[in-house]
Chain A
Amino acid sequence: MGAAPASRDVTSYGMGLAAPLALFFLLFFVAPLLQLLWLSLHNDTAGLHWGLGQYLHFLTDPFSLGVLGSTLLLGAEVTAVCLVLGFPIAWLYQRVGPKLQTIIILIVLLPLLTSVVVRTFAWIVILGRQGIINATLQSLGVIDTPLKLLYTQFGVVIALAQVQMPLMTLPLITALGRIDPNLDDASCSLGAGSWRTFFRIVLPLSLPGVIAGCTLTYAAAITAFITQSLVGGGQMLFMPMYLYQQASTLQNWPFAAAISIIFLLAVLAVVSVFTTLGRMSRGYGGA
Chain B
Amino acid sequence: MIMNRRSLLTTALTLGAMKAFPGLSYAQARPLVFATFTGSWEEAHKAVLVPAFRKANADAAMVLDPMLSVDQIAKVNAAKANPPIDVMLHDPGPALVAIGQDLVEPYPVEKSAYYKDLIAEAQEPMGPAPFFQVVGLTYNPEAVKTPPTSWADLWKPEFKGRVGITNLNSTLGTGWLVEIAKMRGGSEANVDPGFKALEELKPNLAAVAANPGALATLFQQGQIDISPGNFNAIQILKARGVPVEFVAPKEGAIAFKTTIHIVKNSPNRELAFKLIEAALTPEVQTTLMNPPYLIVPTNSKVTMGGEIARVLAKDTAELKQKFVFQDWKKINEQRSAWIERFNREIKI
Contact = CB atoms under 8 A, between A and B. Distances in A.
Interface residues of B, number: 30
Contact of B208 (A131, A235, A250, A251): A235
Contacts of B76: none
B68 A125 contact: no
Interface stretch (B55-63, B182-190, B216-224): B216-224
A235 B223 contact: no
A181 interface: no
Interface stretch (A84-92, A161-169, A226-234, A257-265): A226-234
Interface string A51-70: 00000000000010000000
A148 B348 CA distance: 11
A234 B165 CA distance: 9
Contact of B339 (A124, A229, A250): A250
B221 A63 contact: no
A159 to B, nearest CB: 14
B97 A251 contact: yes
Nearest to A255: B336
B222 A129 contact: yes
Interface in A191-217: none
A224 to B, nearest CB: 13
B335 A235 contact: no
B73 A251 contact: yes
A176 interface: no
A27 B45 CA distance: 36
A272 interface: no
A218 interface: no
Interface in A116-169: 124-125, 128-131, 148, 150-151
A249 interface: yes
B90 to A, nearest CB: 13
B335 to A, nearest CB: 7
A129 B222 CA distance: 6
Contacts of A232: 210
A209 B339 CA distance: 42
Contact of A234 (B169, B217, B340): B169
A239 to B, nearest CB: 12
A174 interface: no
Nearest to A226: B210
Contacts of B166: 234
B143 to A, nearest CB: 11
Contacts of B336: 250, 252
Contacts of A74: none
Given A124-B217, A245-B169, A249-B339, A233 B222 contact: no
Q: Which of B73, B173, B210, B223 has the most CB of A within 10 A?
A: B210
B221 A128 contact: yes
Nearest to B100: A251
Contact of A237 (B68, B221, B343): B343
B344 A63 contact: yes
A102 interface: no
B210 A234 contact: yes
Contacts of A251: 70, 73, 97
Contacts of B211: 229, 234
B42 to A, nearest CB: 18
A245 B339 contact: yes
A130 B169 CA distance: 28
A230 B222 contact: no
A233 B218 CA distance: 11
A72 interface: no
B27 interface: no
Nearest to B217: A124
Interface in A81-106: none
A151 B208 contact: yes
B261 to A, nearest CB: 17
A241 interface: yes
A211 B103 CA distance: 50
Contacts of B24: none
A248 interface: yes
A151 B344 CA distance: 17
Contact of B210 (A125, A230, A247, A250): A230
7 contacts: A129-B222, A151-B206, A151-B208, A229-B211, A232-B210, A233-B207, A241-B210
Given A233-B210, A234-B167, 18 more contacts: A63-B340, A63-B343, A124-B221, A128-B222, A128-B223, A129-B222, A129-B223, A148-B161, A150-B207, A234-B173, A234-B209, A234-B214, A245-B169, A245-B339, A248-B70, A250-B335, A251-B73, A252-B336
Interface of B: 68, 70, 73, 97, 161, 166-169, 173, 206-211, 214, 217, 221-223, 335-336, 339-340, 343-344, 346-348
The 9 closest A-B pairs by CB, nearest first: A234-B167, A128-B221, A235-B208, A229-B210, A130-B222, A234-B208, A234-B210, A249-B169, A250-B336
